[in-house]
Structure 1
Amino acid sequence: MTQLQSAVVLITGAAGGFGQELTRQLLLKGSRLILTDRPEVDLRSQIDQLHHTLGQTPGEIVACLSADLATPAGCEELYRQTQALKSPIDVLINNAGIAILGHMVDIPPERWEHLMQVNLMAPMRLSTHFASDMIARRRGHIVNISSLAGWIAMPGLTAYAASKFGLRGFSEGLRHEVAPFNVNVTTVCPCFSRTPLLQCPRFGLWEQADKTVPVPLTTDPVKVMARTIRAIERNQAEVFPDAIASSGRLAKCYLPALPDWISRQIGLSRLPS
């Protein structure tokens, strides 16, 4: 079991939909949080608003840090900043992520390359840094927020799916490498959730497509993150924190033609004729 009360937890992408919910729920769990997001995000004002809403909590926010995780230097700087706090990280949650929608031939290469840096390379870099410290201490937990898109690649989400497939594979391999040292790795694979990520940039034919995600395909981030935290506490290797994700994973494993057919139908129906 991973004990979250008094644990030092580093959350990347803390200003996003999942990040804010993780912050809220972990404060109530009694965790000591180090929050980070992009330099242009006013993370402190969001935290002040959260404190105003929650009032006194068992947990506390140790620090709010700025970091550009799209670069190796940014990841290195974040690691250096946390080291300076003299509070060893018990749980690293690689939550920062971005999305783009469009066919690969329509997306400027610099846009999908940037996505790969944030969604895949940053978690790999940070996990490598902090895993070394956790191994030395013989305890720790790394949490990588992947996606059902790490199992099923839908049209228009090819770049995003590639990053999440990669993150899932990295997490699986890392889990086996660090397990002998009492370090856990949890991979989280939610479906579409009602966060700002749904309003991602669009390119090509997808610019003219319906911009709403059908409500039955979206989930409540409050429930998704509650199940994620429970999975962390239980040291689960992989968690599908909503019914859609769980069903989608089972279908991909046992009826692989079905999600592929659904993906094609969704793609065709959402593009302008």
Structure 2
Amino acid sequence: MTQLQSAVVLITGAAGGFGQELTRQLLLKGSRLILTDRPEIDLRSQVNQLQPTLGQLSGKIVACLSADLSTPAGCEDLYSQTQSLNLPIDVLINNAGIALLGHMVDIPAVHWEQLMQVNLITPMRLSTRFAADMVARRQGHIVNISSLAGWIAMPGLTAYAASKFGLRGFSEGLRHEVASFNVNVTTVYPCFSRTPMLQCPRFGRWDRADKTVPIPLTTDPVKVMARTIRAIERNQSEVFPDAIASSGRLAKCYLPALPDWISRQIGLSELSR
């Protein structure tokens, strides 16, 4: 079991929908949080707005750090900043991520390359850095927020799916490498959730189309992160924190034609013609 009471937890992408919910729920668990997001985001202001809704807490915000995780230098800067706090990281949650909607031929390379950096290379860099410390201490937990897109690649989400497929493979391999050192790796595969990521940039025919994710196919980030935190506490290797994600994974394994049918139902395939 991973004890979250008094644990030092580093959350990347802390200003996003999942990040804010992780912050709220982990504070209620009594964790000591180090939050990080892009330099242009005022994390401290967001935390101040959150505090009145929480009441008496046993957890606390240890630090709010700015870091540009779209660059290797930004990852190293974040690691250095955490080292200067002289607080060993018990749990690293790689939550930062971006999305793009559009066919690969319509998305400028600079955009999908940045997506791959933030969604895949950055978690690999940070996990490698902090895993080395955890292995030395024989204790720690790494959490990678992937997506159902790490199992099913739908049209318009090719770049995003590629990053999440990669994160799935990295997490699985790393899990085996660090298991004997009492370091756990949990990979989270949520479906579409009602966070700002649903309003991601669009390109080409997707930008011209009036298509949105149907509400019944979206999930509540409060419930998704509650199940994620429970999985962390139980040292689960993988978690599908909503019914759609769980069903989607089973369909991919046992009914591989079903994801194509789902694409047609929500209108995605129309944009592929």
TM-score bracket, shorter-length normalisation = over 0.9
Displacement of 1:208 in angstroms is 1.6
Q: Deviations over 1:187-227 (max 9, x none)?
A: 00000000000000000000022242101100000000000
CA distance in 2, matches of 1:80, 1:211: 43
Corresponding residue for 2:178?
178
User: What residue is the counterpart of 2:167 in the other structure?
Assistant: 167
Give the deviation of 1:90 after TM superposition. Answer: 0.2
- What residue number does 2:139 align with? 139
Distance 1:190 1:8 in 2: 24
Contact 2:155 2:272 in 1 (8 A): no
1:142-182: CA deviations, max 9, x gaps?
A: 00000000000000000000000000000000000000000
Q: Which residue number in structure 1 is paired with residue 38 of structure 2?
A: 38
Name the CA distance, whole Å, in 2 between partners of 1:37 and 1:25.
Answer: 18
CA deviations over 1:55-101 (Å, ceiling 9, x no partner): 33110000000000011100000000000001100000000000000
Q: Which stretch of structure 1 is more off in the superposition, 52-61 or 168-177?
A: 52-61
Question: Which digits, 9 at most, give the CA deviation of each residue in 1:99-133, with x for residues without a partner?
Answer: 00000000000000000000000000000000000
54-63 or 22-31, which moves further after superposition?
54-63
Deviations 1:201-254 (A, max 9, x none): 000000022242101100000000000000000000000000000000000000
Equivalent runs, 1:119-130 vs 2, <5 Å = 119-130=119-130
In structure 2, stretches of 5+ residues that fail to align are: none
> 1:8, 1:89 within 8 Å by CA — same for their partners in 2?
yes
Could you list the runs of 5+ residues in structure 1 that have no partner in the other structure? none
Alpha-carbon shift at residue 264 of structure 1 (Å): 4.8
Moved more, 236-245 or 202-211: 202-211
Q: Distance in 1 between matches of 2:260 and 2:173?
A: 26
Kept in 1, the 8 Å contact 2:12–2:96? The answer is yes
- The aligned residue for residue 96 of structure 1 is 96
Runs of 4+ in 1 over 4 A off after TM superposition: none
Q: Which amino acid aligns with 2:147?
A: S
CA RMSD of aligned residues (A): 1.2
For residues 115-264 of structure 1, what are the structure 2 equivalents within 5 Å?
115-264=115-264
| Partner residue, 2:64 | 64
Give the counterpart letter for 1:140 in structure 2: G
- Quick one: distance in 2 between partners of 1:50 and 1:238? 29
TM-score w.r.t. length of structure 1:
0.98
Say which SS state the counterpart of residue 35 (structure 2) adopts.
Answer: strand
Distance in 2 (alpha carbons) for counterparts of 1:209 and 1:95 = 29
Percent identity over the alignment? 86
How many pairs are equivalent? 272
- Show the counterpart of 1:268: 269
| Aligned position for 1:74 | 74
Partner SS state of residue 3, structure 2: coil
Deviation (angstroms), 1:272: 9.6
**Distance in structure 1 (CA, Å) of the matches to 2:140 and 2:272:** 48
